Amino acid sequence: MSDLLVNKVANSGLITLDLGQFLPKGEIKVFDLKDFLFMGLILKEKDYREALKARTWEEFEGQNVAVTCTTDAIIPVWAFMLAVTYLEPVAKDVFLGTAEEMHKHLLLKNIEGVAVEPYTEQRIVVKGCGETPIDNVAYAAITKVLRPVAKSIMYGEPCSTVPIYKKK
């Protein structure tokens, strides 16, 4: 009898994919239109245009910026568009929605941009547990990206997986 221990998981040829690597890096800045409302309720076009024109935009340089309005006011679509015209030249990315929604948007953007070549005809385990919670939409997105090229996709850990897809 041999005392040699063999790591079958390491020798299995499985590629473990941790979705944590696709999490957005850096802070998400919020540009809140509530700061431009008259009496906290009304957007006056002339005042708004002047305020945007006079504002300094350096704080958003190279940042991911979520454009939102956190008060219960009716904001015309053009007001968001106008804010984007000032933010887009300086920001890394601009998104209409909350910081949480932008975080999800950036996560999905990172997943959709993954190079699939290393995963072509491979057996992939999408890691199910991690230090940082991952939104469920990320698991659906990575499945959509990898299914056309993967030999198989599993969910969980290499020692205990749930089969998701197997090429026929």
Q: CA-CA distance, 97 to 103, in Å (whole number)?
A: 10
> What pTM does this model have?
0.83
Which residue is it, tokens 């991911």?
64
pLDDT of 133 reads: 86
Position 128 scores a pLDDT of 84
pLDDT score recorded for residue 96: 97
DSSP string, 125-150: EEE---SS---HHHHHHHHHHHTTT-
Strand-strand pairing, 123-127 and 28-32? unpaired
How far apart CA 17 and CA 65 sit, in angstroms, is: 28
Domain ranges in the chain? 14-24+105-166, 28-103
pLDDT given for residue 7 in this prediction: 45
Tens digits of pLDDT across the chain (168 residues): 556 644 444 445 799 999 999 999 989 999 999 999 988 888 999 999 999 999 999 999 999 999 999 998 889 999 999 999 999 999 999 999 999 999 999 999 999 999 999 999 999 999 987 778 899 999 999 999 999 999 999 999 888 899 999 998
The Cα 51–Cα 31 span in angstroms is: 13
